[in-house]
Amino acid sequence: MSDFFTMSILVATVASGIRLATPYLLAGLGETVGQRSGVLNLGVDGVMQLSAFFAYWTVLETDNLILGSFVGVGVGLVMGVIYAVITVVLQAQQGISGIGIFLFGLGFSDLMFRRQVGTPKPANQLPDVPIPLLSDIPVIGEALFEHSWLTYLAFAMVPLLAFMLRKTTFGMNIRAVGENPQAADSLGVSVGWTRTYAILIGNAMAGLAGAALVLELGIFQPNLTAGLGFIAVALVYFGAWRPAGVMSGALLYGLVAAVVLQWKAQGIIPRSASDIAAMAPAVLTIIALVVLAGRVQAPSALTRPFSRH
């Protein structure tokens, strides 16, 4: 136990926690925007798997990490268009549609991987980009400011999205159609387009989350996410539909996971208990959700399709 509390191990664990939190944060923030507009997307995990594969494949073929990230976003946008057609235009039940998207993403990414790649091959990984000056600060610098640019982007999105939701006309429209779409409609706000844009933002960020996950690892395997996208949906509830809340949830989750990994590596957690320990972050999320349940109101129109008559 005492080994764990050496400075270098603590710093490494915090840095690893932040790294692990990145895909959760990106996907959770995107889902937050969608849910604030009244659309639940349970397909996040499937979108992440699809975009993870295509990002990985792109990098494998071109060695271009930036292009790979953009491909991830692009795949997310395509899935967003599909989901918007299903839920906004056709007004299908959102819960079941999202599960459909998830199953499609799971199966199709697996199929493409087997056909196009076959056996896992390592691809280029996202390099850490130390921020000049800030990364020189003792202790904090190494933990906080030596990450990939996708991690910086994810955390930069937190204030950006909070500002967008609170201060811009578009954000006000999103909040209005998520709470009382009839009222927004009666004043000439297009419920359909507002929700469609929110879905596109959410799916693009899920796509980026998939890219961030696979490019951090540098390798793809079927069912790479292992439910990560569902945890991201849970983090939206945990974070009470606020970007900063989602960030706290993602960080908590990432840090617990990092600690578990570190303890396993050091043998603090015996091999026989490692599977149980691996559940710790999920169990923690469930406990947090139970404790927080009912304290914060979800957007009133969440999961409700809108029609005029």
Partner 1 sequence: MSMLEMRGITKRFPGVIANQDVDFDVRAGEVHTLLGENGAGKSTLMKILFGLYQPDEGEVIWQGSPATITSPSQAIEAGIGMVHQHFMLVPTLTVAENVALGLSSGRAPFTDLDAVSERIREISDQHGLSVDPSVDVWRLSVGERQRVEIMKALYRQAELLVLDEPTAVLTPQEVDDLFEILRRMTDEGRGLIFISHKLHEVMALSDRITVLRNGRVSGHTTPGETSREELAAMMVGRAVKLTPDRPPVETGDSRLEVRSLSVQGDRGTRAVDDVSFDVKGGEILGIAGVSGNGQREIAETIAGLRTPLPGSSVLLDGTDVLPMKTKQRRDLGLAYVPEERMKDGAVGDFSVSENLILVNHDTAEFTSSGLFNFDAIRRHCSELVERFAVKTPTIDTPTSSLSGGNIQKVIIARELTGNPGVLIASQPTRGVDIGSAEYIHEQLIAQRDRGTATLLISEDLDEVLGLSDRIAVVFEGRIVAIVDADDATRENIGLLMAGVVEPTG
Q: Is 278 in the site for partner 1 (CB under 8 A)?
A: no
Cβ 171 to partner 1, closest distance in Å?
A: 9
Instruction: Answer whether 39's CB lies under 8 Å from 94's CB.
Output: yes
Q: Are 224 and 214 contacting, i.e. CB atoms less than 8 angstroms apart?
A: yes
**What is the length of the chain?**
309
Q: How many CA atoms lie within 13 A of 207 on its CB side?
A: 23
Of residues 155 and 241, the one with the C-beta less far from partner 1 = 241
**Closest separation in Å from C-beta 91 to partner 1:** 18
CB of 189 to partner 1, least distance (A): 5
Between 184 and 206, CB nearer to partner 1: 184
Binding pattern for the stretch 135-164 against partner 1, x by CB under 8 A and - elsewhere = ------------------------------
Q: Is 129 helix (H, G, I), strand (E, B) or coil?
A: strand
CB atoms within 10 A of CB 71: 22
Binding of partner 1 at residue 307 (CB under 8 A)?
A: no
Least distance from C-beta 198 to partner 1, angstroms?
A: 15
CB 128 within 8 A of CB 146: yes
Tokens standing for residue 176: 């209005």
| Residues contacting 39, CB < 8 A, separation 6+ | 87, 88, 94, 195, 198, 199, 202, 302, 303
Footprint (CB under 8 A) of partner 1, residues 162-201? 167-170, 172-173, 175-176, 179-180, 182-189
Q: Is 303 in the site for partner 1 (CB under 8 A)?
A: no
Q: Is there binding between residue 125 and partner 1 (CB under 8 A)?
A: no
Q: Pairing mode, if any, of strands 129-130 and 146-147? A: antiparallel
CB of 186 to partner 1, least distance (A): 5
Work out how close the CB of 295 gets to partner 1 at its nearest, in angstroms, rounded to a whole number. 13
The residues binding partner 1 (CB under 8 A) are 167-170, 172-173, 175-176, 179-180, 182-189, 300, 308
